[in-house]
Structure 1
Amino acid sequence: MKWIKKCLIFKADDIKSDFIKSHAQIPTVLVLEDRFRVYFATRPKPGLSMTTYMDLDIKDPKKILYIHDQPIFELGKDGMYDEHGVMPQSIVKYDDKVCMYIGGWSRRESIPYSNWTGLAESYDEGKTFKKVFEGPVFDRTPVELYSATGFYAMKAKNMLHAFYASGMGWIKKNNKYEEIYVIKTATSKDGVNWCRDGKQIIPTPKKCFQATHRPSVIYKNDIYHMWFCYRGVEDFRNGRDAYRIGYAWSKDLKNWNRDDERAGINISKEGWDSKMMAYPHVVETLYGTYMFYNGNGFGQSGFGYAVLEE
C-alpha cells in the first residue's frame, strides 16, 4: 500500500481567532454525505486543550467550507478527569445519533498529567454534543493504572471494538517524566460498558522504550488494517525519535501483525510534516480512502491529508 500526500489543510495561524490560537491536533473525522466534519483539539492558551471542528468538501478535502470558532465542549469541573482538556478521539455513527469518544486530561503534581476516555452524543449530525456522563467510560482499573487514551471504536461482528493507547508507566528522562503507551483492545455491546483483557496487541521493540498511540482501523479486502503512530522517549518532540506512522494487519481483530514497512507513508524532506507525523485517522468514502494526520509539533503545524493509492 502507498499513500499519496496531498497537502496541509489547516493550521491555527491561518485565521485570527481568540479561541483557535495554537494547534489543530488529533483530526477526527465524521463522514457526511457531502463533507468531512473534522474535529480537532486547539489551545486557546498554553496548557489548555478544547475541541472544535471544521467542514471540508468530501470531493476536495483541501477546500474548507466552514470553521467553527467556538468550543463544542465545556471543560470538566474542578477535580474531574477533563478539567484541563477535552480532545476528540473517535466517532461512531448510528441511525439517529453520532457518538464521540473524547479524551479528557487533567494536570497532576508528581507527573505531568493523567488522561482517560469519556463519551458524548449528538443528534444534529455532529454540530453539537452533550457529554453522556461527567466521568469517563474508560477509566483506571486494578491492572491498568496510568491512562487510557487515543481511543478508536468501530462496529464489527455485531459489537463495538475499541483500540486504545494504555499507559504503562512514566520514565524520567533529562529531569522530565515521559509516558509510555502500548495499544490494547476492548469490546462492548452498548458503548459504555467495556470488556478488556489488558493484553498488548501491537508489539514494541524489546531493547528500547517505545510509545504507540492513536490507532485507526479499516476493513478492506477481507483484512483489518491498522495505522497508528509511534515514538521513542528521548528527543521525540521534533527530533530523531519523533512520531512516525506505523502499520499492522489482522484477520480476526485479535491477533495483529506489525509491519511498519507497509505503512506506505513517512515524513517529508521539508515542510510542515518533515519532522513528525502523528495521530492518523483513516476513513473510506465513495471517492477514495483518506488519511488525515498531524505534522510537526503534535499539531502545532496543523493537519493535512493523503489518499491511498488503489
Structure 2
Amino acid sequence: MPWHKLGQLYAPRPLHDKLRSHAANPVPLHLSGDVYRVLFNGRDERNRSSVGWVDIDLSTHRLVATCVAPLFEPGPPDSFFADGISIGNVYEVEGRHYLPFMGWRNPPGQHWWGELGRFRVGTGGVLTLDPGTVWFGRSEVDPVSLSYPWVMPLPEGGYRMWYGSTSTWDAGNGEMVHVLRAAASRDGHVFTPEEEVVPWAVGEAQAFSRPAVAALEDGEYRMWFSVRSGAGESYRIGAARSNDLRHWERISKDIDVSPSGWDSEMIAYPSVFRHNGRLLMLYNGNGYGATGFGLAEWTGAP
C-alpha cells in the first residue's frame, strides 16, 4: 500500500482530570525544525472530550513535552459543546489561523448531536472561540447532526470545507447514514453548504467521518476519511480522488489495520500534512483513540 506506517507516536497517559484517556483526532502545529505540537482530544471520566497537546520530534519520534492542563474544555450545560469537543484541522485566513471543531451535545433522554464551532489559534496553540456561538450549524440541508470539518484554501481563491452530516441514526442495519458534504466560502469565515461529495451505500460505506484532503504530485487530489460499512466492523480509513475538488470517486483503501498491536482493530481520524517535502498522516488506532496516534508516510499512488 502507498502509505508506509512509521509507528505509534504517542500512547495516552493521564495528564489531567479532563485528559484521563484517549488521544483522538490529532492535529499538527509546526513549532520549529522537526518538532510539532500535536493537539488531540482526550476524555474525562464521563467520556467528555477536551483539547490537549504533546510535542513530538518527527525525526526521532521522541516525546518532547506534554501539557499539564487542557487548552479547552467542554462548556456549560446550555452550550453547543457541553459534552465534548472534536477538532478538525488548522487553516489560515489573512495571516490568522483557525481550527474548526465539532461540539457535542448529549441531553438526558435525547439522542446526541453535533454542530460546528471554530477556534482562533494563537501562539503555541492557545484556543479562543471565534465566534462564541455555533459557527456552522444545523439547517434544512443538515437537519440532524454535523461533524469533523476540514477546511482548505482553493488554488483559484476562496475556501472549501468538507464535513459530516447525518441523514438518519439507523438505516435499518443498526448503523447511521452519515455522509460527507461540502461547503464553499469566499472569505474563509462564512460557508454555504453544497453537495454530497463521496458516494455511499448502505451495507458498504454508510458512516463517514473526519475527512482530510491533500494534493498529490501528479495534480490529483486525494481525500482520506474514517468509514464504516454498517456490517458490524470498526472504522477503517477509506479514500477518494478528484481532479477538481468537487467531484469525488471513492477508491480502494490505501492504508489498513496492522496484523497486531495498537492499530490492529481499527484505524480512524486521519490528518494529513506536508513536512520537508513529505506527505505525512497522523491517525488513530484501536478504540477511537484509546491507544493514541501514529504516523504514516505517503510513498506513491497505487
Kindly report the root-mean-square deviation, in angstroms, between the aligned alpha carbons of the 2 structures.
Answer: 2.1
* 1:196 aligned residue (184, 193, 197): 193
Q: 5+ residue gaps in structure 2?
A: none
Query: Are the counterparts in 1 of residues 202 and 230 from structure 2 also a CA contact under 8 Å?
Result: no
Cα deviation for residue 50 of structure 1 reads: 0.4
Query: Are the counterparts in 2 of residues 217 and 226 from structure 1 also a CA contact under 8 Å?
Result: yes
The aligned runs of 1:107-126 (5 Å cut-off) are 107-124=106-123, 126=124
Amino acid across the alignment from 2:151? A
Cα deviation for residue 233 of structure 1 reads: 3.5
1:29 maps to what in 2? 28
2: distance between equivalents of 1:190 and 1:247? Answer: 28
1:238 maps to what in 2? none
Secondary structure at 2:79's aligned position in 1? coil
- Residue 181 (structure 2) pairs with residue 184 (structure 1): yes
Cα deviation for residue 59 of structure 1 reads: 2.9
Cα deviation for residue 69 of structure 1 reads: 2.3
2:145 maps to what in 1? 147
TM-score (norm: length of structure 1): 0.89
Query: Are the counterparts in 1 of residues 86 and 148 from structure 2 also a CA contact under 8 Å?
Result: no
* 2:241 aligned residue (226, 240, 249): 249
Query: Are the counterparts in 1 of residues 175 and 207 from structure 2 also a CA contact under 8 Å?
Result: no
2: distance between equivalents of 1:17 and 1:228? Answer: 29
1:41 maps to what in 2? 41
1:43-81 deviation digits (Å, cap 9, x = unpaired)? 122231101111222433x21222112111142232211
Secondary structure at 2:44's aligned position in 1? strand
Cα deviation for residue 212 of structure 1 reads: 1.1
- State the 4+ residue runs in structure 1 displaced beyond 6 angstroms: none
1:121-148 deviation digits (Å, cap 9, x = unpaired)? 1231x43111012222110111311111
Secondary structure at 1:298's aligned position in 2? helix
Query: Are the counterparts in 2 of residues 103 and 118 from structure 1 also a CA contact under 8 Å?
Result: yes
Distance change (3 Å), C-alpha of 1:112 and 1:173: farther
2:101 maps to what in 1? 102
2: distance between equivalents of 1:159 and 1:56? Answer: 32
1:136 maps to what in 2? 134
The aligned runs of 1:1-310 (5 Å cut-off) are 2-13=2-13, 17-34=16-33, 35-60=35-60, 62-94=61-93, 96-124=95-123, 126-156=124-154, 157-171=156-170, 178-197=175-194, 199-206=195-202, 210-220=206-216, 221-233=218-230, 235=232, 241-260=233-252, 263-310=253-300
Secondary structure at 2:273's aligned position in 1? strand
Alignment length, in residue pairs? 297
Query: Are the counterparts in 1 of residues 41 and 49 from structure 2 also a CA contact under 8 Å?
Result: yes
Query: Are the counterparts in 2 of residues 173 and 234 from structure 1 also a CA contact under 8 Å?
Result: no
TM-score (norm: length of structure 2): 0.91
Q: How many percent identity over aligned positions? A: 28
Cα deviation for residue 16 of structure 1 reads: 5.7
